[in-house]
Amino acid sequence: MSAFAQRLLAWFDQHGRHDLPWQHPREAYRVWLAEIMLQQTQVATVIPYFTRFIARFPDIHALAAAPLDDVLALWSGLGYYARARNLHRCARQIVAQYGGTFPRTLEALMELPGIGRSTAGAILAQAFGQRTPILDGNVRRVLARYGAVPGWPGTPAVQKRLWQLAEALLPDERMADYTQAIMDLGATVCTARKPACVRCPVAPGCAALAQNAVAEYPHPRSKKKRPQRHARLLLIRNPQGQLLLERRAPLGIWGGLWCPPLLGELHLASGTWAQILLDTASRVRQLPPLRHAFTHFDLELRPLQIELDAMPELICEPGQQLWVSLSTLSHLGLPAPVRRLIEQSFSLGST
């Protein structure tokens, strides 16, 4: 067994995290759900979502039987909604194809929607104790430093080196603990900024530390500036004070979520109809704009509040548009910034 793995396991027993909700019990369904939630999302954010999910969907059969809308509603606020759609598809596929039991090979797991190599490795190691590496953001950073691996980890060549290193350092036993340990090390000691090398159990073998160049690894991605985009957000209310929502297309930004009609960028199918409605409306009020940052562009939402004197005819297919009272908003899957803007706009009796 590598000295790296030995030192890491000994450190984990003393300083690792042993109380995360998905560790008790450490079974495939819970490990899988946690791994999907933890993609690009931090532990502290995930925990309350994980707890709510398990309470609502205690096993994979419950999840597979649920409507996608219920899953999206519980996911609202976590972002990357393709994860929730894949999660739901994956649950149904595991039930249909494997009778609700997770497959135990890397190849079979990676066939499933939303499960890539790292998530498949995490499930095999944590739930089944198999000797399979993972490579998430924390592990990438730990290994890039430990092996002084040059280059930006986003490139295939660097990825390949890191996977090889991850494989080479695996222990002969205790795979579940080891997998948790290397993530804990990245999260609490080998952090992105101000790493605590004095507390690091594997400092004796760390190549970057030996070069006194820990901060040089991993090499950051080349930076590029984000384009600015903007859109009208139409907060349309009928005479009963209900708000009009429309289901967004399944793919793309906020895919499958409910959202008031948008004009301009990110527009919905009803764009033309909404434009006409806007042109003929009499009571229109501008609300303060909201800025929202995505990974790849900045979005400014410019809300208009529109109070209708009569019910208009809706133009979309049934089930794609919805009048909702403000009090039932919380049960629907809306983008978090949009939800906040609506609550803010209507909270102080500003009708």
- Provide the minimum distance between the beta carbon of 292 and DNA in the complex, in angstroms, as a whole number: 6
Cα-based torsion angle of the residue sequence 52, 56, 60, 62 in order, rounded to the nearest 10 degrees: -170
- Provide the minimum distance between the beta carbon of 16 and DNA in the complex, in angstroms, as a whole number: 10
The strand pair at 298-307 and 228-237 is best described as parallel
SS3 call for 201? coil
Please report, as a single letter, which amino acid is at residue 125: A
- Provide the minimum distance between the beta carbon of 244 and DNA in the complex, in angstroms, as a whole number: 19
Q: CA 46 to CA 30: how far, in whole Å?
A: 13
> Smaller CB distance to DNA: residue 84 or 236?
84
Backbone angles phi, psi at 298, to 5 degrees: -100, 135
> Smaller CB distance to DNA: residue 186 or 201?
186
Q: Which residues bind DNA (CB under 7 A)?
A: 17, 20, 34-35, 38-45, 77-82, 86, 110, 112-120, 122, 136-138, 141, 155-157, 180, 183-184, 186-187, 192-194, 220-221, 223, 251-255, 292-296, 335-337
Backbone angles phi, psi at 279, to 5 degrees: -65, -30
Q: Of the listed 35, 107, 216, 300, which one is catalytic?
A: 35
Q: CA 69 to CA 72: how far, in whole Å?
A: 5
- Provide the minimum distance between the beta carbon of 264 and DNA in the complex, in angstroms, as a whole number: 15
DSSP string, 136-190: -HHHHHHHHHHTT--S-TTSHHHHHHHHHHHHHT--SS-HHHHHHHHHHHHHHTS
> Smaller CB distance to DNA: residue 113 or 312?
113
Active site residue 35: yes
> Smaller CB distance to DNA: residue 271 or 337?
337
> Smaller CB distance to DNA: residue 269 or 336?
336
HSE (CB half, 13 Å, CA atoms) of 23?
11
Count other Cβ atoms within 10 Å, centred on residue 329.
Answer: 16
- Provide the minimum distance between the beta carbon of 167 and DNA in the complex, in angstroms, as a whole number: 15
Catalytic residues: 35
